[in-house]
Structure 1
Amino acid sequence: MSGMLSGTLLVRKIAAADPRRVRIGDVVVLKDPANPNNYLVRRVAAVEGHEMVSDNPDDDSFVLARDHCWVLADNKRLKPKEAYDSRTFGPVAMSCIVGRALYCLRNGVDHGPVHNSIFSRRQDSAVLEVELNVDEMTRNHKP
């Protein structure tokens, strides 16, 4: 989870991720493109059909292919190689996304909902109301 959230995450599984279920701005859990046994937590920055333009004038622009997205680490202080996100490994197939982070517990005092897209926050609010048990998460939390 380098460069993103640290702590215990409540994650909503997504059986088949696509632009109707995962939106720009969502924090997602995805399989590491280089090592599918590892998972990353990154924010979706663009989805299929978006044109990607580099700050480097030597790089060609491109359009994200169908069923692909671009993910970025939230920590802006990290250099692209340190952030280990799409700037390093390129577009990610939506099939690599396993879920959306809903709630982060850093400790008994520092916890709260993950800031996702408005669409996803509305969709996930019922899950948080019904399924979230902060006391249980705090008891099971390992710093």
Structure 2
Amino acid sequence: LKDPDKPDDYLVRRLAAIEGYEMVSRDEKEEPFILDADQCWVLADNEALKPKEAKDSRTFGPVLMSDIIGRVIYCLRTAVDHGPVQNSQLSLKKDSPVLEVELDVDELAKNHKS
């Protein structure tokens, strides 16, 4: 998705909720709210980060769906720890042909920054 603070940069975040979902905070002082049309809620999955450090919807709020620019289909952690991202069955069906043609693991590993 486009970084809300720096529109020329991008963030990789998990899509957690879409329009119509009710968002309820663990903090009882915060009122629940419903995501409006064309809004979504994104989360960083790095458990080492505190919510205020995560740079996701918990810090910048709902994101416009038009700011979502793609879907992660392959993850490379190390040269030996990598593989397709488990999205929905429909997504996996659409992504598999792309991975078969486009994926070059050796090239990814060569350019990977650990």
| TM-score between both structures, scaled by the size of structure 1 | 0.72
* Structure 2 counterpart of 1:65, from 22, 27, 36: 36
Letter paired with 1:85: D
The reply to whether residue 122 of structure 1 matches residue 88 of structure 2 is no
The reply to whether residue 101 of structure 1 matches residue 72 of structure 2 is yes
**RMSD of Structure 2 on Structure 1 (CA):** 1.6
Structure 2 spans left out of the alignment, 5+ residues: none
Name the one with the larger helix percent: 2
| TM-score between both structures, scaled by the size of structure 2 | 0.88
Structure 1 spans left out of the alignment, 5+ residues: 1-29
Please give the alpha-carbon distance, in whole angstroms, between the structure 2 residues aligned to 1:99 and 1:64. 20
The reply to whether residue 33 of structure 1 matches residue 33 of structure 2 is no
Please give the alpha-carbon distance, in whole angstroms, between the structure 1 residues aligned to 2:84 and 2:35. 29
Q: For the pair shown, which has the larger CA radius of gyration, 1 or 2?
A: 2
Higher relative contact order (CA 8 A, sep 6+): 1
Name the one with the larger strand percent: 1
Equivalent residue pairs, number: 114
Distance 1:59 1:142, change over 3 A: closer
Percent sequence identity is 65
